[in-house]
Amino acid sequence: DTAVSQTPKYLVTQMGNDKSIKCEQNLGHDTMYWYKQDSKKFLKIMFSYNNKELIINETVPNRFSPKSPDKAHLNLHINSLELGDSAVYFCASSLGLPGIDTQYFGPGTRLTVL
Amino acid sequence: AQSVTQLDSHVSVSEGTPVLLRCNYSSSYSPSLFWYVQHPNKGLQLLLKYTSAATLVKGINGFEAEFKKSETSFHLTKPSAHMSDAAEYFCVVTLRNRDDKIIFGKGTRLHILP
C-alpha cells in the first residue's frame, strides 16, 4: 500500500488554465505539506497543514491555494498557470509537527506548463 | 534566522571508497537536522535525523552523521560507497521550538564511479 500518494503523476497544460493536484496519506499522520522542486532540484516548502489548520504559508503567489478536506488529504489548486509554475510538486506527511518528526514524501507530480 | 548550506553541489567517489557530504547550518534556536535522499524520478526518503539526543546518528544503508554544535555542521558519511548510493542528498534544518520553519539545502548530487 502506498503511504503518500499523489495524482496525477504527470500534468501537461496550457498557460492560463486552472489545475489541481491531489494528495492522500494512509499513515494516520496529522501534518501534511506541499513542496515545489524546480529544474535545479531546489526544494522549497509552500504550505503545511496540521489537523486541517494551515501552519506554514510561505511566500507563494496567491494563485496557489491549498485545501485540506480532512487530515488524510491535502490538495493543491493552481489558478491561471504560468510557465514558471513548471516543476515537480511533492506532497509529504509527518506524524506531528515538522520540528522533530520525519516527513514521508509522495512520488511527485511533474507539472509542465506550455 | 536559519539557513543550511551544502558545500558541494556534486561529489564523485569510486565504489568502495568513503563518502563525505558536507552540511553547515545556522540557527537562532535549537535545530533538528535531517538528511534525505532522492533517487532519480523518485520522492525523498529519510536517511537519518538529529533531534537533540546522541550527536552521532546512524541511519539506513550504512550512512551516519555527526552533529557538531561548535562547527555548526552535520556532515553525512559512509565508509564504503555502493553504486546504489548514486542520488541527490538534501540536508534539512527545522526549529524544534518553532514548528513553522523548514529549510532545505540546495542538494548534493553523489556520483559513484565504477
What value, to the nearest 5°, has the Cα angle with vertex B73 and ends A104 and B30?
70
Q: What is the CATH number of the domain that holds B61?
A: 2.60.40.10
Closest partner CB to B99 (pick from A40, A97, A107): A97
The burial class, CB within 10 Å (0-12 / 13-18 / 19+), for A45 is buried
Ramachandran angles phi, psi of A38, nearest 5°: -85, -175
In the predicted structure, residue B113 carries a pLDDT above the cut 90:
yes
* Structural domain boundaries, residue B76: 3-113
Chain A residue with the nearest C-alpha to that of B37 = A105
Contact residues for A91 (Cβ-Cβ < 8 A; gap 6+) = A4, A6, A21, A23, A25, A32, A33, A34, A35, A74, A76, A105, A106
- Domain count of chain A? 1
pLDDT tens digits, A13-41? 999 999 999 999 999 999 999 999 999 88
Contact B94 A90 (CB under 8 A): no
Query: Which among B45, B73, B43 has a CA at the least distance from the CA of B59?
Result: B45
Q: What is the CATH number of the domain that holds A36?
A: 2.60.40.10
Residue B95 half-sphere exposure toward CB, CA atoms < 13 A: 13
- Domain count of chain B? 1
State the average pLDDT over residues A52-69: 88
* Structural domain boundaries, residue A58: 4-113
State the average pLDDT over residues B83-87: 96
Contact B46 A102 (CB under 8 A): yes
B54 neighbors B33 (Cβ within 8 angstroms)? no
Q: What is the pLDDT of residue B98?
A: 58
